[in-house]
A = this chain, B = another copy of it.
Amino acid sequence: MDNRPIGIFDSGLGGLTVLKAVATLLPNEDIVYFGDSKRTPYGSKSKETITNFSRQDVSFLLSKGVKAIIIACNTASSNAIDELTKEFSIPFIEVIKPGSLVGSQVTKNNKVGIIGTKATIESNAYLTNITNINNSISVFQKYCPLLVPLVEEGKLWWNHPITSAIITHYLSELIQQDIDTLVLGCTHYPLLLEVIKNVVGEKITIVNSAGEVAKAVYQTLDDIKLLNNQGNGTISLYTSDSVDKFTPLASEILDNNELFIQTIDIERY
């Protein structure tokens, strides 16, 4: 047993869907979450910039004494994981492998669709992971740059007809390819789950990577004997921009109006 907290970082608010899934599965674990709202989004930026930002995010979490770090951002997972594991000795759990594994297990016709940010899709991380697991699977990818700003604009948009039209636009190519499985390759997208379900219909199985990551966290911590079964499940939230910018949407996502959030200067780390 190890009662140090788990660290989670994301480019902003999307990673809170992962936090929620982890806190539900592992209610005794303390969690320190950092959302880089000052520099959000990561998904439209270069690999080098994403890696530099991620390095600072990890350094901040290490300063909080975490025992393992969840990279709750597909963009950072797909672009920065190699550098981070080279530079830091702490265990990392990233979000690409769990989604890839389940996606490759769920498909029956071996046609899997992936949606994510531009940087995630252009990294080909899902494609590589899935074809490494089973090279008879065809992977169809599509980047969907508008979905993160849509989620971040607020709950009004999460189930709006315009959102549905945008998702229909993005997914039409993948549906034409006859995919039977769709992996949500961005931690913001579970918040659009209802609309996405309506657009793809019942024939396509949706893989929500947030839930899969929580299971991977449990597995990893159990393997290396770092689970905490007796803690209080304290959640500490940090942001790089003002608390006022972070609180409204964080409260919506976590369904909790009594969050304690602090601002930190991420460029110091």
Contact = CB atoms under 8 A, between A and B. Distances in A.
Interface of A: 37-40, 44-46, 48-49, 145-146, 148-150, 152-153, 162, 165-166, 169, 241-242, 244-245, 267
A12 to B, nearest CB: 9
A165 B169 CA distance: 14
Contact of A267 (B45, B244, B267): B267
Contacts of A152: 44, 145
14 contacts: A38-B49, A39-B39, A44-B245, A45-B241, A46-B241, A46-B244, A46-B245, A48-B242, A49-B241, A146-B146, A146-B149, A162-B162, A162-B165, A165-B165
Contact of A153 (B40, B145, B242): B145
A245 B45 contact: yes
Given A146-B146, A162-B166, 12 more contacts: A37-B45, A38-B49, A39-B39, A40-B44, A44-B245, A46-B242, A46-B244, A145-B149, A146-B150, A146-B153, A162-B162, A162-B165
A150 to B, nearest CB: 7
A154 to B, nearest CB: 9
Contacts of A245: 44-46
B169 A162 contact: yes
